[in-house]
Amino acid sequence: MKKDILISIVISVMLLPAIDVFVNKADNKDTKIIVKKGENDNRKLYGIKVADYLIEKSKIKPKMYLGKLFSKYNIEPNIVSEIIEKTKAVFDVRKIKKGNEYTVFLSKDKTREVSYIVYEKNPVDYIIFDFTDSLNVSLRKQKVKTITKTAGSVINSALWFAMEDAGVSPLLAIDLSEIYAWSIDFFGLQKGDKFKIIYEEHFVNGKSIGYGKIKAAFFEHSGKEIYAIPFLEDTVKSFYNIDGTNLKKAFLKAPLKYSRISSGFSHARRHPILKIVRPHHGVDYAAPSGTPVYSLGNGTVIHAKYSRGAGHYIKIKHNNIYTTGYMHLRGYAKGIRKGASVQQGQLIGYVGSTGLSTGAHLDFRVWKNGKNINPLKIDAPKAEPVKEENMKEFVKVKNKYKKLMDKLIIEKNKTEI
């Protein structure tokens, strides 16, 4: 209990600095925020002047619905019914969530009459119940402050852990891998590879509520430096290297977002089930059953069926040169059938262990002019570079982001711009 009270005090001080706070043991873990009588404080919480009220903050408890919350503060049943009816226009009352915060504004006289109740739907959206005059319910938003930051790190084991070393959420690794999906094989990262990113972080009342997208990036892989500079051309934003070449290629680098290679391309491999040596003209990606599988590029499905060896498999013809295959699938995505058109990066199926397979994995294959080739050595043509007439503007954007990343010292990991 002492620990809970201490946490409550800290949260209260963060939310309302310079306001006298005390905590009392009301309804288990409720926090009461008291402003000194006569104190001239113009601070606001949810747009309401805090100096005018006794304020209680708490969290929705199990099986606490709006009606129960209102009755806790002695609001008459007929008023409860009216306010819940009005709530339906802005919020589904059935979706009130355990653990979400609510705040009650009480009059400072002896009656302790409820003036407002605020329920936080999420860190940004909140519902305000106004009991001051006529009953009103409205959906409002907190002011979100977005701060642009930089981070960077050296990869010693996995990108996921390098993100943690950089002091940012490992979830940004997914965003980074999508930016470089056409340029870097994230299943083949090496110790000593490094990255730098410029990203956005969102705050409400000084508290982080999550990250935005990565705005620009730099990656050094096997000694090769690749920048990712955002540029809007013909209303479409793409990422380009510093010379204006598009990072996007005709094919993704791999058909899975995140996994590992368990078996490579070989002309003579001992089959794990048949126990005979024969060619393995594909790459096996070990991944949990159900992992999404994506089309390497635009094309037409020419096979989506079951065979004894390949299990559920898909074969896609991309053009007159390239065809790709995806084997041992658990199943197919909606709409995937023979003759269906697919786009680059489109979900086509899910990793499984059907056919002659010892465990969940994707056997991925590529044919060039009808001949099996190593999927890891595809030299696909690049997408269009920045147009000549837009290069002057691109150079301005490039210089802005490159300057920010070049001055970042990776050992410091994270700075604020």
What is the distance in angstroms between the CA of the first residue and the CA of the last residue of the chain?
A: 40
pLDDT computed for residue 232 by the predictor: 92
260-377 has which fold? Glucose Permease (Domain IIA) (2.70.70)
CATH class for the region spanning 145-249+406-416: alpha beta
pLDDT computed for residue 252 by the predictor: 86
What are the structural domain ranges in the chain?
2-141, 145-249+406-416, 260-377
- Nearest Cα neighbor of 121 from 139, 133, 109, 134 is 139
Question: CA triplet 385, 387, 388: central angle to 5 degrees?
Answer: 120
- In the predicted model, residues of the chain with pLDDT beneath 50 are 1-28, 38, 262, 264-271, 273-278, 412-417
| Residues whose CB falls within 8 Å of the CB of residue 15, separated by 6 or more in sequence, listed in order | 33, 45, 205
Q: Is CATH 3.10.450.350 the classification given to domain 2-141?
A: yes
Query: Are the beta carbons of 126 and 142 closer than 8 angstroms?
Result: yes
Domains 145-249+406-416 and 260-377 are alike in CATH topology = no
pLDDT per position as a tens digit, 147-170: 999 999 999 888 888 888 888 888
Residue 217 burial class via C-beta count within 10 angstroms: exposed 0-12, middle 13-18, buried 19 and up? buried
pLDDT computed for residue 266 by the predictor: 40
